[in-house]
Amino acid sequence: MQRMPSTLALSAWAGFGAVSSALLLREAGLLAEGSGGAAGTITAALPLPLGLATPDAAAFAAILAALVVGLGATIAWLHAESGGPAGPAETVAASLLTAIFGLYVAASVSGSPLASLFGDGPGFLFALALSFGALLFDHLVAPDDTGDREFEAAMRAIEAARRDALARREQRHSSESDKG
């Protein structure tokens, strides 16, 4: 399967965003801790509240949810059956990762309790750098369909020229044998 490193990295960030969004929804009081189903199971395992105000927690949850939707759509775009160029999808993926980085920087610089969502130390930045590395790796090793099409066209032209030359040679040999 092509683009496996990018898919893995983007899926991990989508999971991070989904779980973090659930945490923030619980923080805003929009997701009850004791509720049944998957939401209850997820929120019961999440860490203690971050200390955000209710409107802030809801807004950050919406931002993260939007990033998760974008990441999911980008993963689907990378694996689309159409065989179109992946360049635009890679650009969108890089933009979404940059948005996650921007959220981290804004929370860290402003001293927001949201910064604790990203953990302590350089682990978050290292994971983000690896994700950009995965996108770059997949971009560099992706097959070049344009080059393949050009190669096939050149090979067809060579084969057509070879057949034409053989036909002319046969025609010349047959006209020489008629003369002699």
Given pLDDT bands bounded at 50, 70 and 90, which one contains residue 74? very high
- Tell me what pLDDT residue 34 has: 61
Give me the mean pLDDT over the 15-32 stretch: 89
- Checking if the pLDDT of 179 tops 80, the result is no
Long-range contacts of 40-46 (CB under 8 A, 24+ apart): 46/19, 46/22
- Checking if the pLDDT of 38 tops 70, the result is no
List pLDDT tens digits, range 82-141. 555 667 889 999 999 999 999 999 999 999 999 999 988 899 999 999 999 999 998 888
Report the distance separating Cα 114 and Cα 104, nearest Å.
8
Is the four-CA dihedral 21, 55, 124, 100 of positive or negative sign? positive
- Tell me what pLDDT residue 150 has: 77
- Tell me what pLDDT residue 141 has: 83
Most confident of 16-25, 38-47, 77-86: 16-25
- Tell me what pLDDT residue 52 has: 92
Single-letter amino acid code for the residue at 174: S
pTM: 0.73
Percentage with pLDDT > 70 across the chain: 83
Among 70, 124, 117, residue whose Cα is nearest residue 95: 70
- Tell me what pLDDT residue 35 has: 58
Percentage with pLDDT > 90 across the chain: 47
